[in-house]
């Protein structure tokens, strides 16, 4: 299922796959529909068995969220579910709508044993995230269950450690509700392993082909397939055989003449896991932020009086910083938190101007970034995990073809090279 090389040993790649969060459905066979102990509508005439598995007879289906999670605002849960069922409807003749009555697809958040047999019990926070049942007989046909012990979040609020993005997981489970099995394609929504936050996630060609093999196609639908996920996955696989430094987070290394070394090897008393870093070329001065503490280096030497506590009352701890030059070529520093960004005067070390919501100004800026920099090409590069985004300073949008894997582009050397 995961394309692992058969070695006869549990090596690092195998252990890594086995430890990742995933869907609770089996990888073999069709989505199952065991009998449960809850009352539901009569499904005896609602499905049929085909060569491709079970499918709903009716092209008009309904869904309802009967038990909400306390981890996400209830309206966000409704909006996400409405969006994901629309995504599955568009390529096919299906029409899937919300109802306040007894639905075809009942959706709920639950914990541990939750009414569909002890063998389907959730496992608390950790590996099993959700499961779903395909079309069929019985009171659970089509139902979707999410483990409410997980730290559920939306892309607007993926701040907590181990947070799980509700959108891609719900999109995956809805595919099971329509009769789709797991896919061996790592680019597909129906791939069983959770891959984390994926901006601009859409159905893959593998998902669409399997959906249309069951229900037929919508003649007005045109699949617009990008190469972003495929490109990233291929590079990620090749990086497994590269030196460990190629897989580091962007903040763990310092870049000097294009080659990375650990930050603390070059900068005296530099903090572990710095939050935001910005460089002023005209002063040969480097600022590092962590929480509400600031370090200042001139010519790579720690300045007297630093590190010290920040005097300004920031709206939140900065996690990234960008130096954007004005029309006269003077540096203007902007600090980014998880939700807001603001100007910062590097002379007075005080806030300048107003505080703004990141998403209201930078329309396609990724949420919860790790670092950012304005490069010599005039573009802003935002880093998140091992990916990076190329952002136009003028249109404030992410350029097509991004995100990309930052290792080959930014570290170079032993990690390979590719264009930024």
Query: Can you give the pLDDT of all 420 residues of the chain as single tens digits?
Result: 777 778 888 888 888 888 888 887 877 765 554 444 334 444 445 656 554 567 888 889 999 998 888 888 888 899 999 999 999 999 999 999 999 888 889 999 988 887 776 777 787 787 888 888 888 767 788 899 999 888 898 876 665 667 888 999 999 999 999 989 888 888 889 989 888 877 778 888 889 988 988 888 887 777 665 444 445 455 555 555 566 656 555 555 555 444 555 666 677 788 877 788 888 888 888 999 888 889 999 988 899 999 988 877 888 888 888 888 777 778 889 998 888 888 888 888 888 877 888 877 776 677 678 888 888 778 888 888 778 888 877 777 777 777 777 665 666 666 655 666
Catalytic-labelled residue, pool 45, 48, 150, 173: 173
Res 234: pLDDT: 53
Longest dimension (CA), the chain: 79
Find where tokens 């070394």 sit.
261
Residue 38 DSSP one-character state: S
82's CB contacts (< 8 A; 6+ apart) are: 98
Domains of the chain: residue spans and CATH: 18-220 (3.40.390.10), 244-415 (2.110.10.10)
Whether pTM exceeds 0.85: no
In 3D, which of 227, 197, 199, 223 has the Cα closest to residue 211? Answer: 223
Res 151: pLDDT: 87
d(CA 220, CA 240): 41
Find where tokens 């005067």 sit.
345
Check if 45 is active-site. Answer: no
Strand partners, 151: 163
Res 412: pLDDT: 61
């Amino acid at each position: 299922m995961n394309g692992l090389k058969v070695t006869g040993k549990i090596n690092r790649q195998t252990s890594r796959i086995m430890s990742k969060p995933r869907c609770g459905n089996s990888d073999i066979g069709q989505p199952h529909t065991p009998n449960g102990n809850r009352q539901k509508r009569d499904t005896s005439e609602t499905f049929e068995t085909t060569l491709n598995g079970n499918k709903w007879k009716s092209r008009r289906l309904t869904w309802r969220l009967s038990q909400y999670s306390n981890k996400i605002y209830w309206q966000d849960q409704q909006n996400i579910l409405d969006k994901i069922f629309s995504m599955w409807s568009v390529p096919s003749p299906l029409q899937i709508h919300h109802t306040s009555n007894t639905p075809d697809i009942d959706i709920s958040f639950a914990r541990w044993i939750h009414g569909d047999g002890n063998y389907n019990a959730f496992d608390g926070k950790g590996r099993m995230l959700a499961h779903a049942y395909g079309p069929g007989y019985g009171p659970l046909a089509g139902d979707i269950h999410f483990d409410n012990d997980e730290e559920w979040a939306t892309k607007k609020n993926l701040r907590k450690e181990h947070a799980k993005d509700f959108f891609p997981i719900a999109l995956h489970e809805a595919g099971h509700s329509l009769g789709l099995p797991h896919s061996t394609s790592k680019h597909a929504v129906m791939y069983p392993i959770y891959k984390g936050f994926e901006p601009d996630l859409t159905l893959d060609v593998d998902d669409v082909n399997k959906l249309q093999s069951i229900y037929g196609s919508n003649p007005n639908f045109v699949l617009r397939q990008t190469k972003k996920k495929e490109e990233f996955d291929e590079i990620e696989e090749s990086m497994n055989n590269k030196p460990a430094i190629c897989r580091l987070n962007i903040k763990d290394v310092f870049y000097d003449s294009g080659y990375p070394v650990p930050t603390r090897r070059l900068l005296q008393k530099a903090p572990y896991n710095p939050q935001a870093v910005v460089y002023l070329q005209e002063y040969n001065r480097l600022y590092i932020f962590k929480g509400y503490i600031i370090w200042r280096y001139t010519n790579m030497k720690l300045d007297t009086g630093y590190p010290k506590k920040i005097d300004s009352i920031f709206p939140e701890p900065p996690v990234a910083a960008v130096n954007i030059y004005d029309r006269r070529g003077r540096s203007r520093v902007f600090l980014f938190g998880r939700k807001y960004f603001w100007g910062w005067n590097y002379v007075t070390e005080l806030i300048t101007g107003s505080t703004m919501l990141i998403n209201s100004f930078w329309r396609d800026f990724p949420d919860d970034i790790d670092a950012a920099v304005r490069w010599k090409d005039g573009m802003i590069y935002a880093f998140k995990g091992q990916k990076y985004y190329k952002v136009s300073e003028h249109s404030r949008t992410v350029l097509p073809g991004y995100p990309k894997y930052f290792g080959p582009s930014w570290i170079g050397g032993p990690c390979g090279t590719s264009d930024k």
